[in-house]
Chains A and B, each alone.
Chain A
Amino acid sequence: MQPKPTSSLVAELETTLGLLNDLMVELQTQRHWDPGSRVDQILTALHRRPALAELPRILLRVYNEISAALTGIRLTREAIQAQAIERLRDGHVRLSEVSSTTESATLEIIAALDRTVALLDQLQAGGGAEAQTAVAALRGEIDGVFNHLQFQDITSQQLRGVADLLQDVERRIATVADLFDQTFGLRDAAVPGPVGEPADRAERAYNPDATTRDVAARQALADAAFGMGRGAAATASGA
């Protein structure tokens, strides 16, 4: 059975209470009860209360205010979806694009360096002592450029870390929007599906903490930790 609409219930309540109020007035004015009798006391007490017929109007006003609040919540939820989630998704796509473009450009640079090395091989084959020296110096420069291109792998991992963070924020906002839906019955609104949980750090295909900073110092610390680990492993296997 379908529940009656709230406006219909309010109308029925208003009618019922109105009739009850009329009945009370009629009872008090047209019948003559002994002053001080129990019936007289009840009728007097009821009559002194705020008019019961006002109650439905109060309820209706409350109902209208709740409806307005729900509309506000619905608009907030739609704003969350439109402004936050969609922009976060857009940000995620842009970061992927930056990462992909940088990788393509880096591979192009590597291909150009390969061609340059081939040209240097030709120069070295036909050149004199001076050319040999220049070619060796150029090879050194090219090796340096190759080495610097490691930035692409590292920044790509950093970008993927930020993209994952955005995805996490998106998931949390979607959860809040979903809470609105569940709590306030906004199920009819289109809810974006929850995105997947991020993979555990060890299982990720990238390191979000990747950095190009202080590499010599970090390598020295890594060497020390590695030596310590090897020492402990050797002790354990010898024990």
Chain B
Amino acid sequence: MRAARGIAGTAVALAAGAALLAFTPDDEQAAPPTGPVPLATAWPGAQRADIAGNLGDGPIFAPGVFLDARTGVGTAPTPDGTAVRLLVRNADGSIRELRRRPLGSNPEFGNLTVDGEDLAWTESADGVPVEIWTARTTGGPARRLTTDTGNALFFGSQWDLVIADGEVHWAAAAPEGEKVTEIRSVALAGGAVRSREEPGIWALSAWPWLAENGGEDRSGTTRLRNLAANRDTRVRTTGAELATCGPLWCRVQVMTGDGQARIDVMHPDGSARQRIAGGSASAAIADVAVLDRFEILSEPGPDSDLNGNAGLLVYDIAAARTVGIGAAVNGAFSRNGVLWWATGDQDTLVWHTVDLRTV
């Protein structure tokens, strides 16, 4: 009896011991140096808002840019579903309609950009070339600036359409498909489009900078050009790295044989390099270093494959820390210094904003 119990006890102890031996403590080196700081703790003073996905009159609102944390400009169908509107949605929920096009022509309003009180965007629809429109954020009607947009190139960046010095700028491919990029400009006051040609394939960055998408597969930034100073900067990368650059910062994906090893940021000349995320994170938006300071990252969660939701992080380069924005986020966008993202599904959609300019 005693012996039997002793054997049972020994067996249990041995089994538990085996389980302990098989246990591997988490290697903390795999994780970022410090865990993300919650948004509310990191930036208590930042302006934030949660905005219902649907407008007061029913349809879902798709923001294209935010003027501040509560005032958005974006598109929504009309309640009867016959047309698409471009509208300003004010903090109090009231709306100001800027434009309207019939739904049947597949209209697209895009590339919304703001400078001071000037708003500009592109419009296209079936059978109509890309047009550029403008309006004042303070009120008044929308005006068409030009239809002479050329073979406009848009990359999904906030710099695809730039307002600077009273002009709107964009890039277009040269007509003959040469390896030349046209940098086109039109004054906000109106008038003819000016065009200058730059050899190479360039995209606009923060004005007056261009970024060259060089390399074998045209992925990654290899050169930056300052149009005002007529000066080029070569991006210094080594080996298996993919850099995406703005004038001040580059986001560098460091690759190993198995895929991405980590994400660093550095200046285009290679200095001040620092790790910002491990192998599982990815850039949540195309643009590098929003406001020259914030890298927007997404980190897949356990259910990302099922519902497409991912964790949203912001790496603050100035403070060298990671701020956790949300755990289950469906899409993230940033223009004009405001970061916004969605949670919920089609029926329970909520837009969340944080104005990074107020951090």
A and B co-occur in one complex: no
